[in-house]
Structure 1
Amino acid sequence: MREPSSGTTTPAGSDRHWYRIVGGAPLTGSVEVSGAKNSVTKLLVATLLTPEPCTLSRVPRIVEVDVVLGMLAELGTQVEWLDSHTVRVTTPRIEDASLAEAYSGVNRIPILMMGPLLHRVGEAVVPLPGGCRIGKRPVDFHLRGLRAMGAEIIEQLRSVEVKTLGLHGAHVTLPFPSVGATENLLLAAVRAKGTTVISNAAVEPEIIDLILFLQQMGALVDVEVDRTIVVQGVEALRGATHEAIPDRIEVASFAAAAVATNGRVDVVGARQEHVATFLNHLRRLGGEFQVSPHGLTFHRARELTATHVQTDVHPGYMTDWQQPLAVLLTQAKGASVIHETIYEDRFGYTRQLNEMGADIALSTFCLGGKACRFASRDFEHSAVVSGPTRLRGTDLEIPDLRAGFAYVMAALVAEGSSLISGTRFLERGYEDPVGKLRSIGALIETVPADVPPDSTDSTGAAGSRATG
């Protein structure tokens, strides 16, 4: 497997800057939601299915998009930005169907390129997510489906090699409605010979957005009422123009921040139908929203009170909404429960929140709802959040993308100043977070990542860099 070329964009290994936030200011004003990262990156992969130009608009300018465009460039894609958020990509030919091993662990996008590359050149070598064996992350769903469609797969330690003389339709039943596996099978099925049936498929808004784009390209895809997707393969796909959906994770993030800080924020471009489940839970705990022709407005309606939330596949409560919710629940009266059923280990970020003064206890039991697939497996996948608690500003280190906004929220709510490192993770998925937060009244600034640990901020508060 090759190393990436010198012109390839890969994620920074360290922060360019940190955030310094002074808490206590209510967020008030208007902010525009960006295009959905979890849609745009998959739409970009879909463009590999045709040699013709494809134009995508509402593309967020984030690290994750740059990384995917770098991957496409390695394969032979020509990239042209038509304006600040519109990109035209064309892949007249596949120059090299082997992605660099340096992309192993960067994200899960390479594994989705197998189908398009098999259709274009009959072979591909892609790095595995996380650079680990199949069993540790559920890409076995992906590979099992591709094997059923006629792909020959050779699993290596950090990569997977796939070959085919031609993919054909198959009936694939997913053990779990995995978003990634559904996307992978869709991308392979649209040009496969015959009909593919995907049972127990994911039906998230990002999946539907991908289907709509593929349909514009000439694909034949039917979504049935029982999580079944039927794809009739076609010989070729054409170029298309498509506007990505708004990012429902960003909408929920700003909504939670508005309510947590007792402010009022208009999220321009937000769509009620994409966040309906979130809105119900927000209202139950004391938040409120209004719908306008421009989007959604969020504010606090009453004293915040405890609630129970269980994450689930769409249309359930999204797993990527639970981190900002956890911070919001630290300000709610009573004991709230969050039961995580999508990922077995997604509460690690709560330790630093507890160091700020939160009261969050983790449990291996399925609390607050039905037993899930992690029952009796010793995973801390439930959290009890007791509140309200007074959060204190401190130094925080972001461990991953979704924890990143939760830490920013916590710093906005907290008394005093916080210095946040690990900002590269947040900027992978949120476009211009500092600029957007400033525009609605957040007291946030960037500081060089090499600032001395004992430096004093602009308010006179001193701190030391977090080590955890």
Structure 2
Amino acid sequence: MEQYIIKGGKALQGEVSIGGAKNAALGILAAAIMTDETVTIENLPDIRDIHVLLEAIEEIGAAVERVDKHTVKINGKNIKSINIDYEFIRKIRASYYLLGALLGKYNRAQVALPGGCNIGSRPIDQHIKGFEALGASVKIEHGMIQAEAKELKGSHIYLDVASVGATINIMLAACRANGQTIIENAAKEPHIVDVANFLNSMGANIKGAGTDVIRIKGVSKLSGSEYNIIPDQIEAGTFMLAAAATKGNVLIKNVIPKHLEAITAKLVEIGVTVEEFDDAVRVIATEKLGHTHIKTLPYPGFPTDMQPQITAVLAASEGTSIVTETIYENRFKYVDELSRMGANIKVEGNTAIIVGVESITGAIVSAPDLRAGAALVIAGLVAEGFTIVEQVEYIERGYEDFERKMQGLGASMAKIDIEDEKAVQKFKLRVS
């Protein structure tokens, strides 16, 4: 087991390059097995969730060749099983994309119920509704989701909520169904557009991705492709907030600025300067940051995956801020950890009332989930003294080389073995 140790108080300076989008990559990897030809995927993030999904894909018989840490070749010609009860697959939420991919290709699939971060209820009823509308029978038995159809047929599907996972899963199955499928109230996140573009590069016929109505004409087969995954807006946003919190000056490269507009708007509102370029943004903060009100919403609103990080920033800003979470009900579990660092935050239902404090102090804290872990790192970078962040395996599910990228910006931060007391002392001596 490993942990991060951080000495706060240094302004981040320099440049950082953002990797491929985790949420797009997971959907694209699942889609890659839907053809019998070789698919090459580039700009793949080198993170734990990706490794687990690739192992699961390989386990069912697909050929997986890691060209390098960011490029993979996949060939699904020799898939021998549509039953995915792989040991680790239940630990990642995106395992359910294999259900839509296998159902679309073989008209049947059986996949272990997904896991992932414990940030609240994330039901799969909209996925099931979509599969059943396409003609599949779906049941859940012994911790497995089973879907089967004699034939998938296009259908008109209205999602009760704009679910990202359901939108992608239905797209995967529908692109091989007979006839036209229309998904209404579809989610509009950038990674949905990326998955649709990837499927289209393989010969699918999908229009409207990125709007609330997606139209899909089923095709008889999909072909090989080469594809480059979009940059990760959440990784980019995390570094933007880290730069702002530490009063830094950071150029964040390999981004799509339009995907970051909701984050940029809130940073500007609290007194941060954000300069936009074609594929980069520069974040500059020189004064004490102010307060704001935030409500998480589906894209293009403020992302729920950025809610913990901005709460950490506001905890050490001036004034009273209110953050309302509308997506997941358990996403404030990290607040107790921030309180250990001196933050003044009161949670009432789905709302956090944040009274900014003059300073926060280092403490031993534990990451309850992926994005909350990133928030605790941001807090540690700002805090007086030393912070230890435990359970960094959550953070590494979604951030590649997180501590190295922070070190590259001048952060006093290291990853050490949790049982290595000498490493803690060495770090403290070195940075002091």
Per the shorter chain, which TM-score range? over 0.9
Corresponding residue number in structure 2 for 1:343: 328
- Alignment of 1:418 onto 2:387: yes
Corresponding residue number in structure 1 for 2:244: 259
- Alignment of 1:320 onto 2:289: no
Corresponding residue number in structure 2 for 1:431: 400
CA displacement at 1:32 relative to structure 2: 0.5
Q: Secondary structure at the match of 1:280?
A: helix
Corresponding residue number in structure 2 for 1:362: 347
Is the 2:121–2:329 contact (alpha carbons within 8 Å) kept by the matching residues of 1? no
Residue number among 115, 128, 145 corresponding to 1:143 in the alignment: 128
Deviates more, 1:62-71 or 1:82-91: 82-91
- Alignment of 1:227 onto 2:212: yes
Q: 1-side partners of 2:210 and 2:78: how far apart?
A: 38
Q: 2-side partners of 1:460 and 1:94: how far apart?
A: 54
Q: Secondary structure at the match of 2:238?
A: helix
Corresponding residue number in structure 2 for 1:270: 255
Corresponding residue number in structure 2 for 1:158: 143
Q: 2-side partners of 1:206 and 1:348: how far apart?
A: 26
Superposed CA deviations along residues 356-404 of structure 1, whole A, max 9, x for unmatched, are 000011012xxxxxxxxxxxxxxxx110111134111111111111111
Letter in 2 for 1:99: I
Q: 1-side partners of 2:357 and 2:79: how far apart?
A: 56
Letter in 1 for 2:63: Q
> Closer, same or farther in 2 for the Cα pair 1:41/1:218, shift >3 Å?
same
Residue number among 106, 111, 114 corresponding to 1:126 in the alignment: 111
Letter in 1 for 2:255: A
Q: Percent identity?
A: 35
Residue number among 343, 349, 370 corresponding to 1:401 in the alignment: 370
CA displacement at 1:222 relative to structure 2: 1.3
- Alignment of 1:116 onto 2:85: no
CA displacement at 1:458 relative to structure 2: 3.1
- Alignment of 1:387 onto 2:372: no
- Alignment of 1:29 onto 2:34: no
- Alignment of 1:87 onto 2:72: yes
Corresponding residue number in structure 2 for 1:71: 56
Q: Secondary structure at the match of 1:281?
A: helix
Q: 2-side partners of 1:405 and 1:98: how far apart?
A: 34
Is the 2:131–2:170 contact (alpha carbons within 8 Å) kept by the matching residues of 1? yes
Q: 2-side partners of 1:333 and 1:357: how far apart?
A: 14
TM-score, length-scaled by structure 2 = 0.95
Deviates more, 1:120-129 or 1:231-240: 120-129
Q: Secondary structure at the match of 1:444?
A: strand
Structure 2: gaps of 5 or more residues: none
Q: Secondary structure at the match of 1:119?
A: helix
Letter in 2 for 1:396: V
> Closer, same or farther in 2 for the Cα pair 1:136/1:341, shift >3 Å?
closer
CA displacement at 1:103 relative to structure 2: 3.8
- Alignment of 1:449 onto 2:389: no
CA displacement at 1:211 relative to structure 2: 0.8
Superposed CA deviations along residues 289-338 of structure 1, whole A, max 9, x for unmatched, are 11234511111154311100110001100001111100110122111010
Superposed CA deviations along residues 4-57 of structure 1, whole A, max 9, x for unmatched, are xxxxxxxxxxx3x21111111111011100100011111000111101111111
Is the 2:253–2:280 contact (alpha carbons within 8 Å) kept by the matching residues of 1? yes
> Closer, same or farther in 2 for the Cα pair 1:389/1:457, shift >3 Å?
farther
Is the 2:316–2:360 contact (alpha carbons within 8 Å) kept by the matching residues of 1? no
Corresponding residue number in structure 2 for 1:174: 159
Letter in 2 for 1:362: V
- Alignment of 1:49 onto 2:34: yes
Q: 1-side partners of 2:227 and 2:209: how far apart?
A: 23
Q: 2-side partners of 1:293 and 1:111: how far apart?
A: 35
Corresponding residue number in structure 1 for 2:3: 18
CA displacement at 1:105 relative to structure 2: 3.7
CA displacement at 1:120 relative to structure 2: 2.9
Superposed CA deviations along residues 413-439 of structure 1, whole A, max 9, x for unmatched, are 000011221011111110001110100
Q: 1-side partners of 2:352 and 2:222: how far apart?
A: 46
Corresponding residue number in structure 1 for 2:178: 193
Letter in 2 for 1:215: N
TM-score, length-scaled by structure 1 = 0.88
Q: 1-side partners of 2:209 and 2:18: how far apart?
A: 30
Q: Secondary structure at the match of 1:49?
A: coil
Is the 1:119–1:166 contact (alpha carbons within 8 Å) kept by the matching residues of 2? no
Letter in 2 for 1:411: G
CA displacement at 1:226 relative to structure 2: 5.8
Deviates more, 1:388-397 or 1:219-228: 219-228
Q: 1-side partners of 2:423 and 2:78: how far apart?
A: 54
CA displacement at 1:221 relative to structure 2: 1.0
Is the 2:187–2:210 contact (alpha carbons within 8 Å) kept by the matching residues of 1? no
> Closer, same or farther in 2 for the Cα pair 1:457/1:421, shift >3 Å?
farther
Is the 1:24–1:415 contact (alpha carbons within 8 Å) kept by the matching residues of 2? yes
Q: 1-side partners of 2:317 and 2:210: how far apart?
A: 37
Q: Secondary structure at the match of 2:333?
A: coil
Is the 1:139–1:181 contact (alpha carbons within 8 Å) kept by the matching residues of 2? yes
CA displacement at 1:128 relative to structure 2: 0.8
Superposed CA deviations along residues 334-355 of structure 1, whole A, max 9, x for unmatched, are 1101011111110010111011
Q: Secondary structure at the match of 1:38?
A: helix
Q: 2-side partners of 1:327 and 1:189: how far apart?
A: 41
> Closer, same or farther in 2 for the Cα pair 1:282/1:336, shift >3 Å?
same
Q: 1-side partners of 2:100 and 2:427: how far apart?
A: 52
Deviates more, 1:202-211 or 1:161-170: 161-170
Q: 2-side partners of 1:302 and 1:392: how far apart?
A: 20
Letter in 2 for 1:114: L
Letter in 1 for 2:203: G
